[in-house]
Amino acid sequence: MVVLSTLLDLAGFYQLPFEIETETSVEICAEDESFIVKGNIDVLVIQKRFWVLVIESKSSKFDVMTALPQALAYMLDRPNPLQPTFGLLINGREFVFVKLIQQEHPWYARSYALSIERDSELHQVLSILKRLGKLIA
């Protein structure tokens, strides 16, 4: 979270018009209403009730992609399904960006894993975060 917090600050997400929430509770019900998934979004960036970025983090001992199903479940429960929602999966050394679009059927795309261990990829993560902030603000 030390690296993530610094990146969010440098990208301008700790300033207006954005808000940061941590451990945001989300409850998702399946279509038959007999299955309920409850959990907490690790970090949520909001602008006027629009979910800008859902961040799901895992320990560095886990592959970053283990956070994908949980992040997608949270992203499907967003308050404004007509707008695309962005996600960021992190495990302390890798970052994967996710975009979810809800149309007739939801679909998502993801980036390849960017690593702090490879030259300039941390800078690339910051550039993407800044671009997302500018697109939304």
CATH of the domain at 27: 3.90.1570
pLDDT at res. 104: 80
CA distance 132 to 135: 5
Range of the domain at 112: 2-136
What is the total count of domains within the chain? 1
pLDDT at res. 26: 61
Q: Which residues of the chain have pLDDT under 50?
A: none
pLDDT at res. 130: 93
- pTM, whole model, 2 decimals? 0.81
